[in-house]
Structure 1
Amino acid sequence: MNNQLWLVSDLLEITGGKLSGNHASQIFGFSIDSRTLQSGDCYFAIRGDRLDGHHFVENAFQNGASLAIVEESWKSSSVLDLDCNVLSVPDVVHAMENIGIAARNRVPDNGVVAVTGSVGKTTTKDMLNMALSACGPTHASVSSFNNHWGVPLTLARMARDTEFGVFEIGMNHPGEIAPLVKMVRPSIVIITGVEAVHIEYFEDTEQIAEAKSEIFTGVVHSGTAILNRDNSWYSYLFSKATNAGIDRIISFGSHSDADVRLLDVRIVDDRTDVVARVFGKNISYSIGAPGYHFAQNSLAVLAVCHVLNVDLVRAVSAFPELRARRGRGARELLKLDGGTAVLIDESYNANPVSMRAALATLALLKNSLNGRKIIVLGDMLELGQQAKEQHEDLIEAIETADVDRVYLCGPMMEHLWHNIPQNLRGSYSNNSAGLVDVIAETLLAEDVIMIKGSLGSNMKPIVDRLKQLPQELEIL
């Protein structure tokens, strides 16, 4: 099977650069990382804040690159001597954007979907990818490729026979979504919700809502906006979508007025059972990961499937295969001396909404191992002046979660520590390093332990230490 995306000559025409080398190669993919590059890929040598991709051009060719796109000022005698395909351009990122736009122009408009929101973007994108892949050729962002590099790179990788394209669009500052969505040009957009996330870079939550609403500016053919009816910013976003000329607005949530409404959700072992109503018709399905937030995200997927007129039963048949990602709720069974324990890895990210969602899921968890429920929480970052209050306010969610031990780390979590009842206190440390050995020595067979914090809180070493304890490890 030929998975060719482009010819080298195509990229020469798109970028207007200067080509040296043998010129004949086909392009089967694109990469910005020479370590993960596959044979036949085009390598973009991007100058980043920490690393300069030009230092790894030779590595890229050694790993099978068909072409390297470099800045025109770059020279390497060793690469040129190999007669490799090198395309020189004034700006590599701009060239990547142009290739992405060209790839987007080859695909029909009506199946292109863009997802943004303060929480749930990646999960919603993943669930959309699964559902639409069951119905036709689908292309989607990998991981969290949602920024000024990730979006054009994802576009560039899109094959011409794509029926459905799913793109995640993120932002940390005002004005970042608009240029990305204008490259993607979706016919359907989803805003999963607006919350006080990354608020350190904004004056208030309204400014975050304003920034999220930039996604409406790139919608083609007046299109469709899918909005969270349960979110406090629904009316604001509805107005913004209407003013942007969006023809159709669909709501989802548990609200009685939602077009796609959550009727029932139950956490059963390692899955979530859902009953929803899609424009008056009920549908039941299971999701292969536990959590109320998975049920909520699935409603937006149902809304997209309704707009695209795909078979809903076929679409949701993919959901049992969903698994939470590492660092985003993945569960692992640790086989310890004397029995087993369950590790819930939420170490990749945290904000007030996702923290409460994780604790709510833990509250619903029936520990079949009959051990303790332990939580290890690190700071939630980028909350600005609200940081102290937002950390202190977690106490109610912790008490509701019915946990047995609480371990906290980070300067902001100290504010919460003072509110933790004495009978729940495990230990507090100013940083995660101070808890690594403490947690490892604390964990017993039959315990369930959840570890969560912002990426900058560096909770992963605790996760890694626990994974060194068992003789065996099984992904649930």
Structure 2
Amino acid sequence: MCADEIVGISIDTRDIVPSELFVAIKGEQFDGHDFVAQAIEKGAGAALVAKEWAQTASTDLPLIVVDDPLRALERLAVAARARTDAKIVAITGSVGKTSTKEAVRIGLECVGRTHASIRSFNNHWGVPLMLARMPKDTEFGVFEVGMNHANEIRPLVKLIRPHIAVVTNVGAVHLEHFDDVLGIAAAKAEIFEGLEPNGKVLLGADHDCLDALIDRASELEITSIATFGFDAEADISLHNVERVATGMRGDLRIGELTLQIRVPQFGAHAMSNAAAAISVGDALGLDVRVLADAMLEFIAPPGRGQIIKLNLAEGDAMLLDESFNANPVSMRAALGIVQGLSREHRKIGVLGDMLELGDSSPQLHEELEDAVLSAGFSKVILVGPLMDNLAQRLEGKLDTIHHASAEHVADLLTEELAPGDLVMVKGSKGTKLSPVVDQLRGRYS
């Protein structure tokens, strides 16, 4: 028998809450149906399962049987979206989606009840799950939308139906699935197709595909288009940005108003993310000064620029955790952060393969040479077969170690680390550098 009241929705038995509905999603690696019994044991009020599976399941289990649990989750998402009067924001981009989503969330939470995507739940199951979880009394909803291929954003944004669509930037990410960067821009522009009537578009101005995005929005007869970023011609523009002891600071001009904003992160990209959040507030007619003040709480999430103190026996070292993912744009941004950090002692780089770059991959790895040399590293540890291209370019110019995998990198760093060192770790998910960060945290927390 199902619970009298379902209090939420989950697809993961590791974090399920009693009386939640467990949705058995079949993915590439796991089938949620294999965990139905475990979910019920942990207190799930019922499980949403496929008819085919239910025919052989125990009759004692509280089941809701449907043809396809994922399609059923999408219908729950549609119902949740339809019942709320919330103002909805959808965010995509080649780089900075999750960080921008967090900046927007932090800003809007200072104004009203805000529901936002967690972690990087931005794909074909993450978006409907986050929508289905949205409370009826939500005032602001913030959703991240990702893609690897064309035609992936379109169905997701039609579920979200945002009032504001944000594109942070377009870069050479997932190139193996596209002919060129303009193809990526076209795929990102799919986010415009789900806009509510009189919806607004906000575009990061600091990339080469801005005009292509503006043209596509105009083709769709979207009349409210604004830009934000470092470009002096942007509608909402950053000026006088500088690094300070606690992070970044600068001025943001919105019409006749100039705001000083501070972000407790290193790197110019953090200021751009903050500018996006304040631009959202401006588009919603909110007091942008409140959102600007909220950026003081915009701390980098794990894997995206988080700074970790490593407590060594004779002093502290610093770990810059950029391990969540990597592409040429974000890699250069991270290397730029390292370049700007002055250290009395060594800088050590752990750089992993940048994946999904297609035929251009060897060249794009080689082209990191100047940025790596400019960062001021005493040593770099390169991880993955693609990084061999960069290793060959650095030979004789920088103390370089190349490993085929990340398996022994934490041990190597343990042997190397000394008080005062700065270590930056960055690579694509598939390079598995996040466990290296976890191991270092465990050893030196």
TM over 0.5: yes
1:241-390 alignment to 2 at 5 Å? Answer: 241-367=217-343, 370-390=344-364
Distance 1:128 1:187 in 2: 14
Post-superposition CA distance 1:344-374 (Å, at most 9, x none): 111120000100111111122233xx21111
Post-superposition CA distance 1:11-51 (Å, at most 9, x none): xxxxxxxxxx25x6222211001121111211101122222
Match of 1:409 in 2: 383
Aligned partner of 1:170: which letter? Answer: G
| Aligned equivalent of 2:37, options 58, 61, 64 | 58
Match of 2:82 in 1: 105
Distance 1:233 1:339 in 2: 46
Shift of 1:456: 0.7
Post-superposition CA distance 1:302-357 (Å, at most 9, x none): 11100111111211222222222222222111111211111111112000010011
Aligned partner of 2:172: which letter? Answer: A
What is the SS of the residue equivalent to 2:64?
Answer: strand
What count of residue pairs does the alignment treat as equivalent?
Answer: 445
Question: Percent same amino acid among aligned pairs?
Answer: 41
Change (3 A) 1:233 1:77: closer
| Aligned equivalent of 1:149, options 106, 125, 149 | 125
Equivalent pair of 1:278/1:302 in contact (CA under 8 Å): no
Distance 1:234 1:77 in 2: 53
Post-superposition CA distance 1:401-432 (Å, at most 9, x none): 22222221222211111222635214222222
What is the SS of the residue equivalent to 2:393?
Answer: coil
Shift of 1:78: 8.0
Shift of 1:192: 0.6
1:71 aligns with 2:56: no
Aligned partner of 1:112: which letter? Answer: I
What is the SS of the residue equivalent to 2:326?
Answer: coil
Distance 2:397 2:237 in 1: 40
Match of 1:89 in 2: 66
Shift of 1:76: 7.9
| Aligned equivalent of 2:5, options 13, 26, 31 | 26
Unaligned runs of 5+ in 2: none
Match of 2:365 in 1: 391
Equivalent pair of 1:440/1:465 in contact (CA under 8 Å): no
Change (3 A) 1:415 1:68: same
Distance 2:230 2:48 in 1: 49
What is the SS of the residue equivalent to 1:340?
Answer: strand
Equivalent pair of 1:372/1:448 in contact (CA under 8 Å): yes
Shift of 1:434: 4.9
Moved more, 275-284 or 141-150: 275-284
Match of 2:28 in 1: 49
Structure 1's consecutive aligned runs of 4 or more residues displaced over 6 angstroms after TM superposition are none
Shift of 1:376: 1.0
Post-superposition CA distance 1:359-401 (Å, at most 9, x none): 111122233xx21111111110111111111111111212222
Aligned partner of 1:218: which letter? Answer: G
Distance 2:122 2:368 in 1: 29
Aligned partner of 1:364: which letter? Answer: G
Unaligned runs of 5+ in 1: 1-20
Moved more, 395-404 or 347-356: 395-404
What is the SS of the residue equivalent to 2:419?
Answer: coil
Distance 2:245 2:417 in 1: 21
What is the SS of the residue equivalent to 2:273?
Answer: helix
Change (3 A) 1:165 1:465: closer
Distance 1:74 1:353 in 2: 44
1:209-228 alignment to 2 at 5 Å? Answer: 209-228=185-204
Give the TM-score normalised by the residue count of structure 1. 0.90
Distance 1:438 1:453 in 2: 17
1:180-195 alignment to 2 at 5 Å? Answer: 180-195=156-171
Distance 2:312 2:55 in 1: 53
What is the SS of the residue equivalent to 1:139?
Answer: strand
Distance 1:47 1:167 in 2: 23
Change (3 A) 1:316 1:76: farther
Post-superposition CA distance 1:214-249 (Å, at most 9, x none): 111100113111112221101110000011121200
What is the SS of the residue equivalent to 2:401?
Answer: strand
Give the TM-score normalised by the residue count of structure 2. 0.96
What is the SS of the residue equivalent to 1:402?
Answer: coil
Change (3 A) 1:81 1:203: same
Aligned partner of 1:400: which letter? Answer: S
Change (3 A) 1:244 1:78: closer
Equivalent pair of 1:260/1:302 in contact (CA under 8 Å): no
1:448 aligns with 2:422: yes
What is the SS of the residue equivalent to 1:160?
Answer: coil
1:36 aligns with 2:15: yes
Distance 2:44 2:55 in 1: 16
Match of 1:14 in 2: none
Post-superposition CA distance 1:125-181 (Å, at most 9, x none): 011000001000111100000000000000000011111111100000110000000
Distance 1:50 1:407 in 2: 30
Shift of 1:259: 0.7
Equivalent pair of 1:275/1:285 in contact (CA under 8 Å): yes
What is the SS of the residue equivalent to 2:243?
Answer: strand
Distance 2:118 2:371 in 1: 32
